Amino acid sequence: MMEEKKPQFTLFPVLIFYSFFILSSIIISHVSQKNPFFIGKERLINASCALWGLGTGIIIVFISLFLSHFFTWGKNLETEFKKHLTPLSIPTIFGISCTSALGEEFLFRGALQQLVGLYTASVLFGLFHFPFKKELVPWSIMAVLMGFVLGFLFEKTGNLTAPILCHFIINFLNILILNKK
């Protein structure tokens, strides 16, 4: 019996998809006259912004590992994600992680959160991650919670550096771990 070969994953559709997010955030920001990278007039990016993002991202990855190890729904999420996100090369994982972090953070935090507030932007972030399979519903719930975490980082630091780095670390390490199992 021949094993069915998975189709090769290509990064190009991901780049196009998230380019529309960035374009949308630029349009929304232009119309609303808000800077999508900074809150208010504060234009300071320093090491603490990066440390907040990296540290929070690493903590969330450890929480993800814990949940996928000790809870059935976490194991089910891992199984479902493995079907779609393996096998991938490290450059592809990096590309997916960069484009999703940049696109989603520019749109949900940089543009929408400044217009509709933390709560609404977090719920919209969760709805964007709404699944087509019931096994992935916990992912949507986690996405709403992550929307609050990422939104808090944006408000605490005054810029998108921390949420982008946090989002990147979470995606990159979680997808990398899936590919190593």
**Residue 15: inside a domain, yes or no?**
no
**Residue 25: inside a domain, yes or no?**
no
Question: Cα 67 to the chain's mean position, in Å?
Answer: 18
Give the pTM: 0.89
Q: Give the chain's domain count.
A: 1
Q: pLDDT tens, 49-102?
A: 899 999 999 999 999 999 999 999 999 999 988 988 899 999 999 999 999 999
Q: pLDDT tens, 102-119?
A: 999 999 999 999 999 999
What distance in Å separates the CA atoms of residue 96 and residue 94, rounded to the nearest whole number?
A: 6
pLDDT recorded at residue 48: 87
**Residue 8: inside a domain, yes or no?**
no
**Residue 21: inside a domain, yes or no?**
no
**Residue 23: inside a domain, yes or no?**
no
**Residue 42: inside a domain, yes or no?**
no
Confidence of residue 29 (pLDDT cuts 50, 70, 90): confident
- Give the containing element (helix H, strand E) for 152: helix 137-157
**Residue 118: inside a domain, yes or no?**
yes
What's the domain range around 121?
A: 47-180
**Residue 114: inside a domain, yes or no?**
yes
Count Cβ neighbours within 10 Å for each residue of 139-163 and write b for 16 or more, e otherwise. bbebbbebbbbbbbbbeebbbbbbb
